[in-house]
Amino acid sequence: MAHGYHGKILHIDLTAGKFSVEEPGEDFYRKYLGGSALALHYLLKDMPPGADPLGPENILVLALSVVTGASISGQSRLTAAAKSPLTGAIGDSQGGGFFPAELKHAGFDALVIKGKSPKPVYLWIHDGEYELRDASHIWGSITGEAEQTIREDLGDKKIQVMQIGPAGENAVRFAGIFSNTNRANGRTGMGAVMGSKNLKAVAVRGKLRPSIADKTRLSTLAKWGAANLADSDIAGMAKYGTNETTGSNQNSGTLPTYNYNSGVFDGWE
C-alpha cells in the first residue's frame, strides 16, 4: 500500500442505508493522488450524464490528500466535490481545520456519498467503524449548535464534525459545509448537495495513523516549517484563513467588489 493512505475508501448509499469499503491498490493512489483528482474520478465514473445537482443521482465526495493526517504544517485539508447546483458543472471546494486529519485518523482516505436518505441522518465514523444515525433532533439547527449536540450525543468533546445549517437543508445553491464553526468548504454549493441528501453532518474520531515512508525526514521538514512559516508571507493564513489574501487580491485587481463589477476596493484595509 502507498504510504500516507489507509487504502480504504468508504462508499455510502444513503437511499438504501448501506455501506461498502473499497480497497484500491497503490497504482490507484499514484494515479489520482487524493483531493480533487480522486474525487473527480468517482464523479466521472459513477454519476450519470444529466444528473440533477440536487437529486439523488448526484454524488458527493469528501477526499483527503497523501499528507493529510501527518505531523506537518498545513496538512489538514479536504476537498468536497459534486455536481454544483450553483453552476451546473463539476464543483469542488477545499476546507481545513481539524476535521480532515481526524477523518484520516478514523480510517479512511475518502467518502463517496450517493443517494438520498428518507429522513435526516448524520454519518458517524470512528476507528474504521461507521453507521448512520438519526439527525431529526438537529435538523434546522445552525452549524455550531449541531456540532455541539452531536458531541454531547456521542459523549466525546473531541469529535470533529462537518455539518450544514438551515441554508444547506433548504438547498440554497451557494450553501457551504462547515466544521469547527469557522472552517468552511464554502464554494460551489456543496452544502446544498449535502442537504439535498438529507445528510446533516459527518462526525469522525479515530487513532488510526497511516504509514510514513521516512519518519525522520518528515520530522525534519515539519520542524523547518514550524520555525519558518511564522515569519513568512502566509503566516496570517492560520489566524485569518482566506481573509489573509485580501491584500494580495487588492494588489492584483482580483478582490471581488460590488458583485464583481470591480476588482479593487478603496477601503479594503
Task: Classify 155 in phi/psi space as left (phi over 0), alpha (psi -120 to 50) or beta.
Answer: left
DSSP 8-state secondary structure symbol assigned to residue 115: S
Could you say which of 3.60.15.10, 3.60.9.10, 3.40.50.300, 3.90.1170.50 is the CATH number of the domain covering 9-205?
3.60.9.10
Query: Comparing C-alpha atoms, which of 15, 109, 104, 23 is closest to residue 61?
Result: 109
Query: Comparing C-alpha atoms, which of 131, 129, 127, 130 is closest to residue 209?
Result: 127
The model carries a pTM of 0.90
Q: Name the residue ranges covered by the structural domains of the chain.
A: 9-205
Q: How does pLDDT run along the chain (269 residues), one tens digit per residue? A: 679 999 999 999 999 999 999 999 999 999 999 999 999 999 999 999 999 999 999 999 999 999 898 888 778 899 999 999 999 999 999 999 999 999 999 999 999 999 999 999 999 999 999 999 999 999 999 999 999 999 999 999 999 999 999 999 999 999 999 998 889 999 999 999 999 999 999 999 999 999 999 999 989 988 988 888 777 777 777 777 778 888 889 999 999 999 889 999 998 88
248 and 233 Cβ atoms separated by less than 8 Å: no
Q: Where are the beta strands (DSSP E) in 31-174?
A: 60-63, 78-83, 90-95, 110-114, 121-126, 129-134, 160-163
- pLDDT of amino acid 1: 66
- pLDDT of amino acid 222: 87
